[in-house]
């Protein structure tokens, strides 16, 4: 487990088994816990509570024939399992669960991930028996209501994006990226332009962007960020050519800045014969205010689990629908959900969609996520604009409160997130962004994303989201300011944080590369 993974040693007797450190996709060392809640480090291993003969349950015995397991597959000795009573078992795992940190326990400003409150009504709707109990192979006659919901969600998302058609198939933003690039390839082939092999990707891009470009078989052409934090238009102008397949842009960028040259960028790429892909992971900043389609983009992916409120983290579930222009619609993955003239819903397959790139997922959409997103969109309605306005206001409030204590690499108003740098603390006191993040855990907050985007040294990427109160934002800002003061007065306190958590600082890279996921007995 964690401590052991960090040190590469066995779990010492009496060591507390807590869930391992999470390393987030953006490379941050997510916290294993914030302020320690529930029982302290006194929780013993389940094995240490074990007493021979105790049971947390009994299995019924059935008069069934004994299955003969081949000799070679049989155990020679019974497994050594903890033997505990049901109350002890329940208390053990409840104590461990109380050490988790999530959006339901506290502020979670993990930049780029949009960790916002998920309205409980979404859970209730996703759990309605008519939705919840559907079988993936349900015949179409028996799930018209579910298809209706999916179709309506497609219509709403097309409106949010300012584009013509939507597929709900991708299971994540990253899969949406890959599919988007497959559509680029199919579209270019249909235009007789298959030779185009390059995709322009800014140096602030999320790691999934260049990865998707490579997986789709294109070459990454990186472009730099200019002094104001925009994509360097001059560099893009110099890089576009007859080899350009597409531009892949995140707007607002991972710097939390709206790209001021966005229309110029899409025009340059279109004039050169390429397509424009919009990474919509940061759509939380612009919903109902500006639309990627109006900025000149041909393809947009949504992260329903970020912008449209679905519980996420730890790998899912999520959904990464894609919106495209009419030109790209024929290539969308099958089955394609359509509404017939009589108002019923149908799935079109290869026969009706001969140009389709094929199916990219076993079943159409992670359905519960789609229900939550639909409920969320309908609940906000046109007020979705207020959602984005509040998200941007909250981020700018934190920016205003923190800009004197931390460096602001690009001195502009931000969008839904802000990127600060702890470079000043590092230079003056030897306190890094990692140290600040770890110390925040002592103050009861989940750390922000750190060391991303890569172009900002000692980056602290903070996304408060629209669902936080002024009191919460103030408490977080107070903690950040207190840590900046501690860096001056007692830098070692910050460098050795966290102090209040169940486990101290972990070797996160090693914990991922050499995880120890089972108990080992001392000899
Ligand atoms: C989260 C994110 C992605 C990838 O989305 P997943 O749903 O995690 O696959 C891509 N780009 C940006 C900017 C993101 O924040």
The residue extents of the domains of the chain are 41-56+74-98, 120-382, 383-513
pLDDT at 199: 98
What's the pLDDT band for 386 if we cut at 50, 70, 90? very high
Average pLDDT over residues 468-489: 98
* More confidently predicted of 509 and 31: 509
pLDDT at 522: 65
Q: What distance in angstroms lies between residue 320's CA and the mean position of ligand 1's atoms?
A: 9
User: From atom 14 of ligand 1, which residue's Cα is the shortest distance away?
Assistant: 281
Q: What is the 3-state secondary structure (H, E, C) of 169-188?
A: CCCCHHHHHHHHHHHHHHHH
Question: 352: closest CA among 368, 327, 329?
Answer: 329
DSSP 208: H
Residue 13, pLDDT above cutoff 80: no
Residue 29, pLDDT above cutoff 70: no
Three-state DSSP class for 511? helix
Q: What distance in angstroms lies between residue 194's CA and the mean position of ligand 1's atoms?
A: 28
Tell me which residues have their CB closer than 6 angstroms to ligand 1. 25, 112, 172-174, 206, 208, 250, 254, 279, 281-282, 303, 318, 320
Residue 24, pLDDT above cutoff 80: no
pLDDT at 67: 84
Distance CA 155, CA 185 (A): 25
Q: Residue 462: enclosing H or E segment and its boundaries?
A: strand 459-462
The torsion of the CA quartet 261, 263, 264, 268, rounded to 10 degrees, works out to: 140
Residues recorded for the chain? 523
Query: What's the Cα-to-Cα distance from 508 to each of 51, 315, 345, rounded to whole Å?
Result: 34, 17, 48
Our mutation pick for probing the ligand 1 site, out of 114, 181, 303, counting the most ligand atoms within 8 A of Cβ, is 303
pTM of the entire structure? 0.87
pLDDT tens per residue, range 404-428: 999 999 999 999 999 999 999 999 9
Hey, what CATH topology would domain 120-382 get? 3.40.640
On whether the CB atoms of residues 363 and 355 are closer than 8 A, the answer is no
The residues that bridge with 322 in the sheet, in sequence order, are: 167, 301
- The residue with tokens 């959904």 is 319
User: From atom 6 of ligand 1, which residue's Cα is the shortest distance away?
Assistant: 173
**Radius of gyration for the chain, computed over Cα atoms and rounded to the nearest angstrom:** 26
User: From atom 8 of ligand 1, which residue's Cα is the shortest distance away?
Assistant: 173
Average pLDDT over residues 357-379: 91
Our mutation pick for probing the ligand 1 site, out of 180, 250, 279, 282, counting the most ligand atoms within 8 A of Cβ, is 279
pLDDT at 39: 37
pLDDT at 316: 65
Residue 33, pLDDT above cutoff 70: no
Task: Give the chain's mean pLDDT.
Answer: 90
* More confidently predicted of 83 and 9: 83
pLDDT at 287: 97
In a 10 Å sphere around its CB, with 0-12 CB exposed, 13-18 middle and 19+ buried, how is residue 68 labelled?
A: exposed
Q: What distance in angstroms lies between residue 134's CA and the mean position of ligand 1's atoms?
A: 29
What is the share, in percent, of the chain residues with pLDDT greater than 70?
90
Please give the distance of CA 149 from its chain centroid, rounded to a whole number: 24
Average pLDDT over residues 261-267: 98
Q: What distance in angstroms lies between residue 212's CA and the mean position of ligand 1's atoms?
A: 11
Residue 42, pLDDT above cutoff 90: no
What's the pLDDT band for 47 if we cut at 50, 70, 90? confident
Say whether 383-513 and 120-382 share the same fold.
Answer: no
Our mutation pick for probing the ligand 1 site, out of 30, 169, 174, counting the most ligand atoms within 8 A of Cβ, is 174
What's the pLDDT band for 41 if we cut at 50, 70, 90? low
On whether the CB atoms of residues 480 and 402 are closer than 8 A, the answer is yes
pLDDT at 298: 98
Distance CA 385, CA 383 (A): 5
Cis peptide before 252 (omega within 30 of 0): yes
Distance CA 149, CA 126 (A): 12
Q: Which atom of ligand 1 is nearest to the CA of 250?
A: 13
pLDDT tens per residue, range 319-366: 999 999 999 999 999 999 999 999 999 999 999 999 999 999 988 768
Beta-sheet pairing, 244-250 with 336-339: unpaired
pLDDT at 36: 32
Q: What distance in angstroms lies between residue 353's CA and the mean position of ligand 1's atoms?
A: 29
Query: What's the Cα-to-Cα distance from 521 to each of 6, 49, 78, 80, rounded to whole Å?
Result: 18, 14, 15, 10
Query: What's the Cα-to-Cα distance from 178 to each of 94, 160, 208, 217, 302, rounded to whole Å?
Result: 40, 21, 9, 10, 13
Query: Helix H segments across 8-119?
Result: 46-49, 86-97
User: From atom 7 of ligand 1, which residue's Cα is the shortest distance away?
Assistant: 173
Q: Residue 336 contacts by C-beta under 8 Å, 6 or more apart in sequence? A: 167, 347, 348, 352, 353, 356
pLDDT tens per residue, range 54-83: 999 888 888 888 888 999 999 999 888 889
The residues that bridge with 221 in the sheet, in sequence order, are: 200
As its CATH architecture, domain 383-513 has: Alpha-Beta Complex (3.90)
pLDDT at 98: 87
pLDDT at 269: 98
């Amino acid at each position: 487990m964690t401590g052991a993974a960090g040190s590469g040693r066995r779990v010492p007797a009496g060591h507390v088994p807590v869930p391992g450190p999470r390393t987030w996709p953006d490379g941050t060392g997510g916290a294993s816990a914030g302020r320690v809640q529930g029982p302290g480090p006194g929780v013993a291993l389940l094995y240490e509570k074990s007493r021979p003969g105790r049971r947390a349950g009994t299995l019924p015995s059935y008069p069934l024939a004994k299955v003969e397991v081949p000799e070679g597959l049989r155990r020679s000795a019974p497994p050594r399992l903890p033997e505990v009573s049901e109350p002890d078992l329940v208390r053990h795992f409840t104590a461990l669960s109380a050490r988790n940190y999530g959006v339901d326990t506290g502020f979670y400003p993990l930049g780029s991930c949009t960790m916002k409150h998920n309205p409980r009504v979404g859970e209730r709707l996703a759990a309605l028996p008519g939705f919840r109990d559907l079988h993936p192979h349900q015949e179409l006659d028996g799930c018209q209501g579910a298809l209706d919901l999916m179709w309506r969600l497609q219509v709403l998302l097309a409106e949010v994006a300012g584009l013509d058609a939507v597929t709900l198939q991708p299971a994540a933003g990253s899969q949406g990226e890959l599919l988007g690039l497959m559509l680029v390839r199919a579209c270019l082939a249909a235009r007789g332009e298959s030779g185009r092999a390059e995709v322009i990707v800014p140096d602030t891009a999320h790691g999934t962007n260049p990865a998707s470009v490579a997986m789709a078989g294109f070459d990454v052409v990186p472009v730099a960020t200019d002094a104001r934090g925009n994509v360097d238009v001059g560099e893009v102008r110099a890089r576009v050519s007859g080899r350009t397949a597409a531009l892949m842009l995140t707007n607002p960028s991972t710097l939390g800045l709206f790209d001021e040259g966005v229309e110029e960028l899409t025009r340059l790429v279109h004039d050169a014969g390429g397509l424009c892909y919009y990474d919509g992971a940061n759509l939380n900043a612009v919903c109902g205010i500006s639309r990627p389609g109006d900025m000149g983009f041909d393809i947009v992916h949504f992260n329903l689990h970020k912008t449209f409120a679905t519980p996420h983290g730890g790998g899912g579930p999520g959904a990464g629908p894609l919106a495209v222009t009419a030109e790209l619609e024929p290539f969308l993955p099958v089955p394609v959900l359509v509404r017939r003239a009589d108002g019923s819903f149908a799935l079109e397959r290869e026969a009706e969609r001969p140009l389709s790139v094929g199916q990219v997922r076993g079943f159409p959409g992670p359905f519960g996520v789609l229900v939550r997103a639909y409920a969320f969109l309908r609940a906000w309605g046109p007020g979705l604009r207020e959602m984005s306005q509040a998200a941007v206001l909250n981020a700018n409030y934190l920016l205003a409160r923190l800009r004197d204590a931390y460096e602001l690499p690009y001195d502009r108003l931000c969008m839904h997130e802000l990127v600060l740098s702890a470079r000043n603390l590092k230079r003056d006191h030897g306190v890094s962004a990692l140290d600040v993040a770890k110390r925040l855990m002592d103050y009861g907050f989940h750390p922000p994303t750190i060391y991303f985007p890569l172009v900002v040294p000692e980056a602290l990427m903070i996304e408060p989201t629209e669902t936080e109160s002024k009191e919460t934002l103030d408490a977080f800002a107070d903690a950040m300011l207190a840590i900046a003061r501690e860096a001056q007065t007692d830098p070692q306190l910050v460098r050795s944080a966290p102090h209040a958590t169940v486990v101290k600082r972990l070797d996160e890279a090693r914990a991922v590369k050499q995880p120890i996921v089972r108990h080992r007995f001392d000899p």
